[in-house]
Structure 1
Amino acid sequence: MTKLPSVSVVILNWNGLNYLQQFLPSVFASTYPNLRIIVGDNASTDSSVEFIRANYPQIEVITNDNNYGFAGGYNKVLDQIDSDYFILLNSDVEVQPQWIQPVIDLMESDAQIATAQPKILSYKEKDKFEHAGAAGGFLDMFGYPFCRGRIFDSVESDNGQYDDVKEIFWASGAALFIKRDKWIEVGGLDADFFAHMEEIDLCWRLKNNGYKVIYCPDSVVYHVGGGTLDSENPFKTYLNFRNNLFLIQKNLSFFHASIIIFIRLWLDLVSLLKFLYDGRPKHARAINKAHTAFLKAIFKTGKKASKISTARFNGTALVNKSIVWQYFVQKKKTFNSL
């Protein structure tokens, strides 16, 4: 009998006691046989660690000495884990008992599959997709991420329209499956992102090496979303706008990136003006702050880009259209209408 690959579910926590109390029971009930469940703690100041040790002694705890964000925190924790597969799972995700096996079976079927995600539905409205990942991530010609099941703020109901296995561009960090050797090959997450879009950068680097990213509809999880930063927090706006520019500079050729970034800066200006028009000046300032931070880091980011070869780039799910034009001008609100 073939031995099942070893799998570690790793939940990164920072002051998330309420979510651990609510969602750890479903993760603990996972039926995959060769499984470790690990909570990596980013120096929480609540009683998260004490709660786990008192109530779930079978769950391992790895503590960081500081809050290193999503990216840096996971890097430090996963450096200490030896499994065939890692599952990066947000603390605000409810899973079903058999959620792991279908994804592992799919990834084992093809050596070129490096990472994957399940179907991600909303915990609050379980007949709808969830914003962060939905039925798999795509990228448009100007570097805007979107999903099957979610374009900007338009989220579709799940009517089985995306129940096919699909090669995608990026897998959501809310529930990201990755082969450990591929994680090591590309150096894990980029800690400079801190949080937001770091999983898109990870997947893009894997695709630059020719690997596949896959969506598995036979596994379903339910995500609350916005557990650490909600959409009304200007810091989230800052991270999204800054990191999207990092993403483009790092993963495209210098010439191509320069053109796209020039266009994006003008499109970002439109977003800034829209925030001002909507009476949200803190978010407008966050965009300006994001551009300043990007420019300050431009040489550091450029050094990372110089290390990336795109000779084997797998461009599947990179959409040669402007999602901004499709959505706001042509009023196409669903993935299948694009």
Structure 2
Amino acid sequence: MSETARPTIGAVVLTMNDRPVEFPQALASLLAQEGVDLDVVVVGNGCTPDQVPPGVRTVTLGENVGIPEGRNVGAREARGEYIFFFDNDALLPSTDTLARLAALLERKPDAAYAQPRICDPTTGETLRRWVPRLRAGDPERGGTVTVMAEGVVMIRRTAFDAVGGWPGHFFLFHEGIDLAWRLWNQGHTGHYAPEIIVNHPATDPARHATFYRLSARNRVWLARRALPAPLAPLNLAVWMLLTLTRVRTRSALRASFDGFREGLRGGHGERSPMTWRTVARLSFAGRPPIV
């Protein structure tokens, strides 16, 4: 991109027409962005999108195909050298947010993706799961990261296409780890930019009825798809230990182990393990892929 060219960004937003207040506000903040050429695509996941302003293109899916596959559909339609994935209940509090993220990726050609700091709009809180590294106690510490919070992230188009996009069959949960690992395996890195703020309500992922089952199933799929054979059982052993430590109710624990067994039965898709060089790079960056 030349010094005078404006970055081109394809923004992908999913909807199920279930957020009549938040969704229009999210789109308004997106369309207010300055200093970029923006192409916004709204994907109706099992619905025809409502409340879509002029100038925004839409895709209607006859059924809910899940978040990662819905985003893949949107990414195939959206035009731009960068793709910005944006949750439909998030807000861009500044009109230069996208321009700053694109400028960051322009300055860091090794980075395939850039994640801003996500904050609750009322409390200013940044949840630990939004901080894409192990030591999440200080959300204002930026730098190179090995995973991502997939709901608000900008990804370089060429890198995204080269690895085949999101793992669509995951439906929900952990697709960001899978994508980040594949990007790293192609020699890229990721960057967390806490100085760039995006607002998002601090919700609990366990509000989804399928959270424990799908989270466990996708953990198994992730290990079976992406890790060298000796590391997969180590990764899953760490996950089981953490599950036993963190899950408080018997029903949630039962759902977790149902998902674990479902993952072991198959369905993880094509196996493409990362190289040992990638294992070393991830470990050196602060997150060995057994955690």
Alignment of 1:247-266 (within 5 A): 247-266=222-241
Q: Residues 64 and 309 of structure 1: is their aligned pair in 2 closer, same or farther, counting only changes over 3 Å? A: farther
- What amino acid does structure 1 have at the position aligned with 2:287? V
Could you tell me how far 1:86 is from its partner in structure 2?
0.2
Is residue 168–residue 214 contact of structure 1 (8 Å, CA) maintained in 2? yes
* Residue-by-residue CA offset, 1:247-272 (whole Å, 9 max, x unaligned): 22222210111233245345534556
Question: Could you tell me which residue of structure 2 aligns to residue 155 of structure 1?
Answer: none
Q: Distance in 2 between matches of 1:269 and 1:216?
A: 33
39, 42, 50: which one aligns with 1:39 = 42
Could you tell me how far 1:275 is from its partner in structure 2?
1.7
Question: Could you tell me which residue of structure 1 aligns to residue 6 of structure 2?
Answer: 4
Could you tell me how far 1:243 is from its partner in structure 2?
1.5
**Percentage of matched positions with identical amino acids:** 21
132, 142, 145: which one aligns with 1:168 = 145
Question: Could you tell me which residue of structure 2 aligns to residue 148 of structure 1?
Answer: 136
Q: Residues 147 and 85 of structure 1: is their aligned pair in 2 closer, same or farther, counting only changes over 3 Å? A: farther
Q: Distance in 1 between matches of 2:141 and 2:101?
A: 13
Q: Distance in 2 between matches of 1:258 and 1:286?
A: 20
SS of aligned partner of 1:49 = coil
SS of aligned partner of 1:238 = helix
Question: Could you tell me which residue of structure 1 aligns to residue 163 of structure 2?
Answer: 186
Alignment pair present for 1:91 and 2:58: no
Q: TM-score, normalised by structure 1?
A: 0.76
* Residue-by-residue CA offset, 1:82-126 (whole Å, 9 max, x unaligned): 310000000010112111111111101122110110111112312
**67-76 vs 23-32, which moves further:** 23-32
36, 50, 61: which one aligns with 1:64 = 61
Could you tell me how far 1:310 is from its partner in structure 2?
4.5
Question: Could you tell me which residue of structure 1 aligns to residue 78 of structure 2?
Answer: 81
- What amino acid does structure 2 have at the position aligned with 1:257? A
Question: Could you tell me which residue of structure 2 aligns to residue 137 of structure 1?
Answer: 132
Could you tell me how far 1:29 is from its partner in structure 2?
1.4
Aligned residues: 285
Q: Distance in 2 between matches of 1:25 and 1:106?
A: 23
Question: Could you tell me which residue of structure 2 aligns to residue 336 of structure 1?
Answer: none
Q: Distance in 1 between matches of 2:270 and 2:30?
A: 39
Is residue 100–residue 219 contact of structure 1 (8 Å, CA) maintained in 2? no
Q: TM-score, normalised by structure 2?
A: 0.87
- What amino acid does structure 2 have at the position aligned with 1:290? G
Larger radius of gyration: 1
RMSD (Å) for aligned C-alpha atoms = 2.6
Uncovered stretches (5+) of structure 2, i.e. residues with no partner? none
Could you tell me how far 1:24 is from its partner in structure 2?
2.2
Alignment pair present for 1:221 and 2:219: no
